[in-house]
A and B are shown apart, each in its own frame.
Chain A
């Protein structure tokens, strides 16, 4: 920019590059945001040594169940609430849905720290977008922002599987964004290690023209059956409904009570 040139302003990254020379001295995903790390640190190299080929095995599993599906009357988002650290249950009432703004929701699976940080950052970017452009950010753009953030740190050990849910001019929107920077638009997603159990239930009961109550019940059932079989999911079902004028939180029900209700009549 002209003013920069005239005033001789050098940005932080340029200065550091001059001092330290070329080489990995910082991690950048956006021009004015970076993590400063000690020189010589190479996260990707370090992580390779932690993978199975290197001998040690640090498995980054997404220990949760979250699901979301679109239907005629909007988008249903349902998540469990168990936060686990290995085999220890760190929290039975973790909040895995981040309310970015009244018309945008993000779910979290994977490393809790990564999800919370990056999705709050996404919230900040969405707010800045609205202030700069005087209109709400679209779901597609919001998910793309998150995806690009992930791309900047690809291979460095982030663990995040998230669904961005919202309602914009194009109607209800559902995107799946991954720590590998996968970004997929779809009608139905489920993430986490309990996702396969949830898929069985929601595949089997899903119809595009469901009523709202049926959709709530399907979301609850999906999470409940997944928590029944998966050890890393449990707690309560947090159910959200994304409607045209914003999201509403439908319910927060304990899965132990729900599973007894559903399995009445079993052995």
Chain B
């Protein structure tokens, strides 16, 4: 490019056809070809909980909103799910700054691709692009672990929901269910038990919220609120952000109510079978109440609440 020639910037490593990183002014010799990795001051783990899964109604992406800095909650209302374009959303985990920058770079490159070729790049392509862009920084302190959730609608590729996990150490995996971060084990077990292809949209959203809630309950580096995005063929929609503290109090209330009802039930002269039946009804009612609450208490942009 002209500017490069003018500055005399020469780096034979950059063989990308479109010169992806032309104007980021790196000092000569950066990224170092053989980088002695600087030892980290403490072992970094991605202090977050993000998850994403596919089902018949599209892709659900959910994440908490706590940004921590070595024991301090730096921001209780950060955004960990960043929309890349109308049909692609990326969850972020790792260093917040790195994730934000690389998401923006990815968004720019995808837009350029769309302008040049007249169609959107598929999620697989976007994942490949991101992985290749991050590859030169392997071995440095860059830390990005993202799941790209999108809907591919082009005739050239298979249309439908798509989910990829990309990591700055070079991993790029396709899958149906991913959870990333320090709270991911807690979320994985909840999701493993509930995710099925045939879930309805409400059930899927409720399951995603439950998984993030359980993870924030046990993991110190996750907490505050939960963001849920839903990607369909029409694009992504976002639920209003929900405070998980409210969820915790609601659960405590429900437990108290059930304990009361349990006491009343045991003192009545019902037979054991009927008592069990009563328990089941109570449980079924409380489960459906829970889901209704989940929908009604925070509406989503498209106005899909039932009143």
Contacts and interface: CB of A to CB of B under 8 A. Distances in A.
Q: Interface SS of chain A: helix, strand, loop or mixed?
A: helix
A263 B194 CA distance: 8
A204 B188 contact: no
Nearest to B275: A211
Interface stretch (B93-101, B133-141, B164-172, B254-262): B254-262
B210 A208 contact: no
Interface string A237-267: 0000000000000000000000000110111
27 contacts: A196-B185, A196-B186, A196-B218, A199-B186, A199-B214, A199-B218, A200-B186, A200-B211, A200-B218, A201-B189, A201-B193, A203-B186, A204-B214, A207-B255, A208-B255, A208-B259, A209-B259, A209-B262, A211-B279, A221-B193, A222-B189, A229-B189, A229-B192, A262-B192, A262-B193, A266-B196, A267-B197
B193 A197 contact: no
Contacts of A265: 196-198
Given A200-B218, A266-B197, A267-B197, 12 more contacts: A196-B185, A199-B218, A200-B214, A204-B190, A207-B255, A208-B255, A209-B262, A221-B193, A225-B193, A228-B189, A262-B192, A267-B176
Contacts of B187: 200
Interface string A211-242: 10000000001100110111000000000000
Contacts of A201: 189-190, 193
B217 interface: yes
A209 B266 CA distance: 11
Interface in B192-218: 192-193, 195-198, 210-211, 214-215, 217-218
B305 interface: no
Interface of B: 176, 185-190, 192-193, 195-198, 210-211, 214-215, 217-219, 255, 258-259, 262, 276, 279
Nearest to B190: A200
A72 B219 CA distance: 27
Contacts of A230: 185
A198 B185 CA distance: 9
A127 B190 CA distance: 41
A267 B198 CA distance: 10
Contact of B189 (A72, A197, A266): A197
B196 A200 contact: no
A262 B192 CA distance: 9
Contacts of A72: 262
Contacts of B197: 265-267
Contacts of B279: 209, 211
Nearest to B198: A265
A265 B140 CA distance: 42
A226 to B, nearest CB: 7
A21 B37 CA distance: 51
Contact of A225 (B192, B218, B255): B192
Interface of A: 72, 196-201, 203-204, 207-209, 211, 221-222, 225-226, 228-230, 262-263, 265-267
Contacts of B186: 196-197, 199-200, 203
A228 to B, nearest CB: 6
Contacts of B193: 201, 221, 225, 262
Contact of A211 (B195, B196, B259, B276): B276
Going nearest first, the 8 A-B pairs with the smallest beta carbon separation are A196-B185, A200-B189, A200-B186, A225-B189, A197-B189, A209-B262, A265-B196, A201-B189
B3 to A, nearest CB: 47
Contacts of A196: 185-186, 189, 218-219
B262 A203 contact: no
B198 A203 contact: no
Contact of B192 (A207, A208, A211, A228): A228
Nearest to A201: B189
A263 B193 CA distance: 7
Contacts of B215: 200
Contacts of B188: 197, 200, 225, 229
Nearest to B219: A196
A230 B190 CA distance: 14
B169 to A, nearest CB: 19
A262 B189 CA distance: 12
A95 to B, nearest CB: 24
A265 B176 CA distance: 13
B132 to A, nearest CB: 28
Given A196-B185, A197-B185, A203 B196 contact: no
A198 B189 CA distance: 7
A239 B272 CA distance: 24
